[in-house]
Amino acid sequence: MTTSTKRNFTKGALTLGSAVVTLTGVAALQQAEAVTATGTGNIQAEIINLPTVAESVVMDFGTFSPGTVPSTAQITPSTGAVTVTVGDASDFGTPSQGVMTITNAPVGVPLTYSATATAPLNDGGVNTMAVSAFVLEDRTDSNAAATLTAPGVITVDVGADLAIGVGQVVGSYTGTYTMNVNY
């Protein structure tokens, strides 16, 4: 707050006595202060392509003759060969591992894979066979994981175990499985 006083002493004014007192506020002194400001804000986003997974070869356990005890047939991912690991079922035919391809995977991001059966194999009726213990191996390092160093396609071999019951009903069994790619 400032006070300025103005006195004019003229002959007449002296007689009358004239004084002007003006009180002004702080705001008048603040006009020189900054009353505007400018700042910068930042925005960020990351774009990646969602990997796509497609089946290129159907997993095929071949043909079996059920044994006298419950049996398990196992597909080796890298070779596609079938081995009866439990029981005494007999295998025939031309088996194959499943082959899945992953495209559009982001470069430099670690990926892991997994697979689960959507439902037991079914003969179109009421008879089923369970598939479990999926094993996934990509062809780069035989692991269920990879990190691309450059854009490309990842090929993954898939094996699994098939349960064959005693007296398994004769027929052609089909089913599906789901492969997940996590990153």
Name beta bridge partners: 82: 75
Min CB(44)–another protein separation in Å: 5
Return the number of the residue (18 or 83) whose C-beta is nearest another protein: 18
Contacts of 82 (CB under 8 A, 6+ apart): 61, 62, 73, 74, 75, 76, 91, 95
Return the number of the residue (39 or 125) whose C-beta is nearest another protein: 39
- From residue 5, how far is each of 29, 98, 100 by CA, in Å? 18, 100, 94
Return the number of the residue (15 or 172) whose C-beta is nearest another protein: 15
Min CB(1)–another protein separation in Å: 7
| Residues that bind another protein in the complex, under the rule CB under 8 A | 1, 15-27, 30, 33-50, 106
Min CB(96)–another protein separation in Å: 32
Return the number of the residue (18 or 90) whose C-beta is nearest another protein: 18
- Sign of the C-alpha dihedral computed for residues 108, 148, 97 and 99 taken in this order: positive
Euclidean distance between CA atoms 170 and 125, whole angstroms: 11
Query: Quick one: tokens of 58?
Result: 């159907």
Min CB(30)–another protein separation in Å: 5
